[in-house]
């Protein structure tokens, strides 16, 4: 029953989305309000139908309805209740359902927010959003139907991919997809503004706002993804330059570029063409990312034929890019810059540089990700470029970006005088140099860490200096320090939200540099009672224990951790044996700390429990990534708040 109902709902939603897109476009051309209302009703209908699809799928998961192929392949009778819900988006078909659902919610928000406020742009925006939604519903109908029937009905399902049995799986995909789908809104507004030839102020305000919202969720998704990688995958790292990660990182980079260059447009009415290009590129990259990770093309070019989903995405991507960029080309004459660049030493050129580097970083990630494909297609040679390539190329770019992060926000517009430079940058530069020299004196030899440290102190110095001056000015009105600071943050929330995001990035940068330079690890086989020492820690192997969970068996090792100062802690890393997998999966255990994490992975062990092989890592400053991430998201949230007043 469920497969038929679900398929019916999908097809009906597809038909409604297509009608809505056509009706809204018709309304935009003719001004007929009845058509527009019909388009809006279609948007609501699409949301209702996709919600129904989700409800049906959940019902199928909770009742173990193995007549649905997707359910049978992603759950079994032992799957815990909680993971039967997250299994909904555990694989390709379900993740497309989630994508469409979130997109339909964004469409409803747009209807609610802009139907009265933006009468000119709104019909086109609605049309574009429903058009994109129709594409995803088409994917749900033809190449990746979530409700495909399985016959004969198996007695039990295959089970969820064990790596996905983690609490991060409820937040990570949702945040990531809220980010990905969120970029549809700026895209739709950009297209609408070009069509009706209104590329002025209000378009920019709306687009910027929605880009920050999508950027916020994408950042959150990337961070949770890093955390998941760190605490589930058992290799002790948080970022592997895996194609799946790169797919999410590329639009993040171009969206970041847009959030900066849009300020030049607001202030100086320049870069209009470039900004629109960035919006289109970001949206295109979200589609490209899905294509890359979902078509199976990454394993090898030859797996391209495995499913038709890749062709759908590639065709849609081509349509979107060709359509939007030719629209852009046809409006070029209206997008001329009204201002000019006055000097190389000015905020405008710093922002230009920032954009150049961000887009270059996106390009290098793109290049490294598709290079193996290109090589195989062109030369017939299978190669891989892994983390070393991305690190080598991106580290200089990111260091340059860090430097610009200090200079950009404080340097004068148009043309910076020597006085302006001295006033804003002399002290921070000195602070950076002094701190690096002290660290060098303390025995830090790693040039990269020293450079990163000097830059971080420099940027933090500029931000503090600016904040201090602004607060001091406000204090003249008689406010206390706390009231003055809070008032400033709320009053100029965009500026200071941005600064807080920058501070978060600085903390993350320190975490990355520190963890790369100072983490240590060892691998050893221990007899019961034996101890291994690393980085001032002693880890003693106390024995193994086996337990049976609802859908797997688990062997847990008990290890006592001590470092002579604090008391003893017991770490319990294990290995999980799933009947549907032929080999076990590690369950790491760790003790997180501000400066260092102790991270323990159980490897092989003897059947009688007398010996075990473990990998012990002391990962330094990894916690700074999560702390910096928290600061960054708080800053982004502050920047999203409506502005009280335009800053003077």
Residues that bind other proteins (CB under 8 A): 73, 154, 158, 234, 341-344, 349, 352-353, 356-357, 360, 363-364, 367-368, 371, 381-386, 388-390, 392-393, 396-397, 523-525, 543-546, 548, 553, 555, 577, 579-586, 603-604, 606-611, 613, 615
* Closest CA relative to residue 621, chosen from 500, 517, 499: 517
Is 646 in a helix, a strand, or coil? coil
Smallest distance, other proteins to C-beta of residue 58, A: 23
What does the alpha-carbon distance between residue 318 and residue 320 come to, in Å, rounded to a whole number?
6
Based on CB atoms, which residue is closest to other proteins, 106 or 577? 577
Interhelix angle 184-195/309-330, nearest 10 degrees = 40
The full DSSP string for 292-338 is HHHSSTTT-GGGGGG-SHHHHHHHHHHHHHHHHHHHHHHTGGGG--S
**Encoding tokens for residue 282?**
């970001």
What does the alpha-carbon distance between residue 264 and residue 270 come to, in Å, rounded to a whole number?
6
Smallest distance, other proteins to C-beta of residue 207, A: 25
Based on CB atoms, which residue is closest to other proteins, 557 or 628? 557
Based on CB atoms, which residue is closest to other proteins, 474 or 575? 575
Based on CB atoms, which residue is closest to other proteins, 381 or 482? 381
CA dihedral 425, 430, 433, 439 (to 10 degrees): -130
Smallest distance, other proteins to C-beta of residue 388, A: 4
Smallest distance, other proteins to C-beta of residue 172, A: 19
Smallest distance, other proteins to C-beta of residue 494, A: 28
Based on CB atoms, which residue is closest to other proteins, 64 or 363? 363
CB-based burial of residue 149 (10 Å sphere; 0-12 exposed, 13-18 middle, 19+ buried)?
Answer: middle
Smallest distance, other proteins to C-beta of residue 609, A: 4
Based on CB atoms, which residue is closest to other proteins, 208 or 575? 575
Based on CB atoms, which residue is closest to other proteins, 542 or 568? 542
Based on CB atoms, which residue is closest to other proteins, 181 or 519? 519
Smallest distance, other proteins to C-beta of residue 528, A: 10
Q: 559 with 570: CB under 8 angstroms?
A: yes
What does the alpha-carbon distance between residue 464 and residue 554 come to, in Å, rounded to a whole number?
51
Q: 543 with 609: CB under 8 angstroms?
A: yes
What does the alpha-carbon distance between residue 458 and residue 460 come to, in Å, rounded to a whole number?
6
Smallest distance, other proteins to C-beta of residue 607, A: 5
What does the alpha-carbon distance between residue 6 and residue 459 come to, in Å, rounded to a whole number?
54
Smallest distance, other proteins to C-beta of residue 179, A: 26
Q: 552 with 577: CB under 8 angstroms?
A: yes
Smallest distance, other proteins to C-beta of residue 515, A: 19
* Closest CA relative to residue 283, chosen from 180, 362, 370, 204: 180
Is 166 in a helix, a strand, or coil? coil
Place of tokens 């690890």: 521
Smallest distance, other proteins to C-beta of residue 151, A: 15
What does the alpha-carbon distance between residue 76 and residue 386 come to, in Å, rounded to a whole number?
36
**Encoding tokens for residue 299?**
């394993």
Helix (H) / strand (E) containing 596: strand 596-605
Based on CB atoms, which residue is closest to other proteins, 203 or 559? 559
Smallest distance, other proteins to C-beta of residue 298, A: 13
Based on CB atoms, which residue is closest to other proteins, 534 or 634? 534
Residues 6+ apart with CB under 8 A from 194: 276, 327, 328, 331
The full DSSP string for 520-563 is EEEEEEEETT-EEEETTEEEEEEEEEEEE-SS-EEEEEEEEEE-
Helix (H) / strand (E) containing 178: helix 168-182
Q: 635 with 220: CB under 8 angstroms?
A: no
Helix (H) / strand (E) containing 172: helix 168-182
Q: Give the CA distances from residue 280 to residues 99, 184, 190, 457, 480, in Å, rounded to whole numbers and listed in that order.
A: 19, 10, 8, 35, 46
Based on CB atoms, which residue is closest to other proteins, 40 or 245? 245
Smallest distance, other proteins to C-beta of residue 154, A: 8
What does the alpha-carbon distance between residue 576 and residue 162 come to, in Å, rounded to a whole number?
9
Based on CB atoms, which residue is closest to other proteins, 121 or 393? 393
Smallest distance, other proteins to C-beta of residue 586, A: 6
Is 522 in a helix, a strand, or coil? strand
Based on CB atoms, which residue is closest to other proteins, 343 or 569? 343
Based on CB atoms, which residue is closest to other proteins, 420 or 525? 525
């Amino acid at each position: 029953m469920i497969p038929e109902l679900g398929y019916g709902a999908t097809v009906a939603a597809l038909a409604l989305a297509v009608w809505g897109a056509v009706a809204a476009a018709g309304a935009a051309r003719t001004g007929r309000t009845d058509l527009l209302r019909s388009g809006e009703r279609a948007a609501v209908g699409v949301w209702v139908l996709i919600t129904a699809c989700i409800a049906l799928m959940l019902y199928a998961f909770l009742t173990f309805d193995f007549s649905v192929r997707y359910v049978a392949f992603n759950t079994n009778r032992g799957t815990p209740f909680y993971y039967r819900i997250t299994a909904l988006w555990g694989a390709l078909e379900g993740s497309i359902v989630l994508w469409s659902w979130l997109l339909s919610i964004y469409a409803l928000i747009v209807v609610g927010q802009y139907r009265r406020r933006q009468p000119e742009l709104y019909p086109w925006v609605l049309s574009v959003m429903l058009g994109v939604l129709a594409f995803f519903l088409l994917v749900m109908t033809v190449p990746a139907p979530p409700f495909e029937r399985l016959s004969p009905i198996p007695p039990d399902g295959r089970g969820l991919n064990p790596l996905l049995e983690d609490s991060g799986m409820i937040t990570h995909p949702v945040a990531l997809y809220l980010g990905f789908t969120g970029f549809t809104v700026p895209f739709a507004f950009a297209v609408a503004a070009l069509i009706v030839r209104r590329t002025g102020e209000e378009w920019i305000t709306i687009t910027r706002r929605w880009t920050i919202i999508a950027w916020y969720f994408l950042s959150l998704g990337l961070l949770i993804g890093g955390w998941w990688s760190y605490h589930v995958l058992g290799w002790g790292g948080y970022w592997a330059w895996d194609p799946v990660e790169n797919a999410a990182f590329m639009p993040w980079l171009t969206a970041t570029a847009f959030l900066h260059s849009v300020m030049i447009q607001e202030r100086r009415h320049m870069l209009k063409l470039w900004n629109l290009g960035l919006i289109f590129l970001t949206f295109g990259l979200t589609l490209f990312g899905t294509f890359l990770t979902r078509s199976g093309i990454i394993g090898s070019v030859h797996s391209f034929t495995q499913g038709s989903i890749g062709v759908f995405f590639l065709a849609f991507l081509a349509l979107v890019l060709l359509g939007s960029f030719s629209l852009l080309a046809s409006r070029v004459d209206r997008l001329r810059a009204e201002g000019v660049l006055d000097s190389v030493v000015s905020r405008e050129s710093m922002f230009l540089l920032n954009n150049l580097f961000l887009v270059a970083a996106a390009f290098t990630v793109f290049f490294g990700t598709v290079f193996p494909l290109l090589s195989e297609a062109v030369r017939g040679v299978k190669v891989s470029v892994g983390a070393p390539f991305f690190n080598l190329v991106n580290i200089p770019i990111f260091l340059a970006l860090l430097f610009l992060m200090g200079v950009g926000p404080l340097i004068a517009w148009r043309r910076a005088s020597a006085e302006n430079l001295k006033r804003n940058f002399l002290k921070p530069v000195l602070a950076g140099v002094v701190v690096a020299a002290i660290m060098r004196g303390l025995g830090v030899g790693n040039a990269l860490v020293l450079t990163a440290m000097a830059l971080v102190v420099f940027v933090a110095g500029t931000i503090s200096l600016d904040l201090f001056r602004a607060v001091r000015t406000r204090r003249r009105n008689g406010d206390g320090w706390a009231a003055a600071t809070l008032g400033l943050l709320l009053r100029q929330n965009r500026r200071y939200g941005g600064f807080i995001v920058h501070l978060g990035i600085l903390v993350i940068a320190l975490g990355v540099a520190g963890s790369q330079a100072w983490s240590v690890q060892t691998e050893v086989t221990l007899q019961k009672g034996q101890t291994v020492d690393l980085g001032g820690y002693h880890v003693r192997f106390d024995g193994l224990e086996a337990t049976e969970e609802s859908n797997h068996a688990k062997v847990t090792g008990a290890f006592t951790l001590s470092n002579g100062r604090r008391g003893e802690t017991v770490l319990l890393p294990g290995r999980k044996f799933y009947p549907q997998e032929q080999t076990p999966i590690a369950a790491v255990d760790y003790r997180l700390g501000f400066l260092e994490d102790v991270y323990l992975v159980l490897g092989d062990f003897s059947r009688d429990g007398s010996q075990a092989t473990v990998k012990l890592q002391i990962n330094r400053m990894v916690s700074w990534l999560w702390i910096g991430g928290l600061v960054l998201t708080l800053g982004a949230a502050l920047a999203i708040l409506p502005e009280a007043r335009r800053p003077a």
